[in-house]
A = this chain, B = another copy of it.
């Protein structure tokens, strides 16, 4: 009875608070994220993501894998200003030069060693070999990269200041799409032969 009165007068409606907004991915996204799933339908599993339990498949050209837990994979982070990914770098592995248009990144090495760096707007380069337990922050929107530094399998947990940080890999942006080669050459100063070679490898057209 006490609890009844307390709830009646102190919490007239449980919808007072937008504590969280688990994304309903089937509805159209908005600039602030996806509409919320009804709170009544949520369980603890909406707030849990189990994709980091094993290594990503690094049997590819970069000997590396990125396993994201962004809104698209983990709707529980929708609207909460944070997300994460697991990075796997086999020996010789590399996460190619890229940016996250919408987030800063914080990397923690959990296994092995990683050479990581970023480049500022002033073209200054900040890079260093990180060992297990080291953190490095990559400011929003700046070019950065990670390379296996010791020839052993290396792993990092990275987190982002947005549930949808975006990921633009410079080499794929240039050579895996349909931007005509003359334009690429004009805006990058790269040689025609170089552009065509990488387009052939990466499937680019135009």
Contact = CB atoms under 8 A, between A and B. Distances in A.
A16 B167 contact: yes
Contacts of A101: 17, 19, 99, 101, 121, 139-142
A106 B165 CA distance: 15
Nearest to A5: B60
Interface string A70-81: 111110111111
A102 interface: yes
Contact of A142 (B14, B15, B19, B190): B19
Interface of A: 2-21, 24, 27-36, 38-39, 42-45, 47-54, 56-62, 64-74, 76-84, 94-97, 99-106, 108, 110, 115, 117-128, 130-143, 145, 147, 157, 159-161, 164-179, 183, 186-191, 194, 197-198, 201-203, 206
